[in-house]
Amino acid sequence: MAVTDDQVAALRAWLRAGTGAEASDAERFVAGFRSSTAEAAELLSPSAAENQLRGVLGDKQAIVPIEEERARAQFLLLPALTVTLGPPQLDQVLAEGRALADALIMES
C-alpha cells in the first residue's frame, strides 16, 4: 500500500508543529492513510494509529489501545514515517528500534 504525497505532507506539518499540533492534523493523516486502500481501512484502527502518532511526540495518552492494534498501527505507519529519511537516518531509526525490541524481549 503506497503512501501518498498528501499523507506525507500532513505528517510533516504535524511533526513540525510538535506536540502543540491540532488533533485534526493526526486525524487527517490517519484518515488519508486509511482511505488509500480498502486493505488499509480494514487493518488500521484510527484510534490506535492516532494514539501511536501522538505518543511518538510525547503526548501522554489516557487510553491505550490493545497490543495487537498498536503493533499493527506501528507496522502500517512505518513507511509513512520513514519515507523522507535518507539511508543514514533510516539506519539510525532501525538501530534504535532494534535496541528497543531487544530490551523488551530481555524484560519478558
DSSP conformation class of 108: -
Average pLDDT over residues 18-39: 75
pTM equals 0.57
Q: Greater confidence, 99 or 61? A: 99
Which three cell numbers mark 81?
514515517
The confidence band for 19, taking pLDDT boundaries of 50, 70 and 90, is very low
What per-residue confidence (pLDDT) applies to 57?
65
Q: What is the DSSP string of 30-96?
A: HHHHHTT-HHHHHH--HHHHHHHHHHHTT---SS---HHHHHHHHHHHHHHHHTT--HHHHHHHHHH
Asked whether the beta carbons of 64 and 51 are under 8 A apart, the reply is: yes
Asked whether the beta carbons of 36 and 1 are under 8 A apart, the reply is: yes
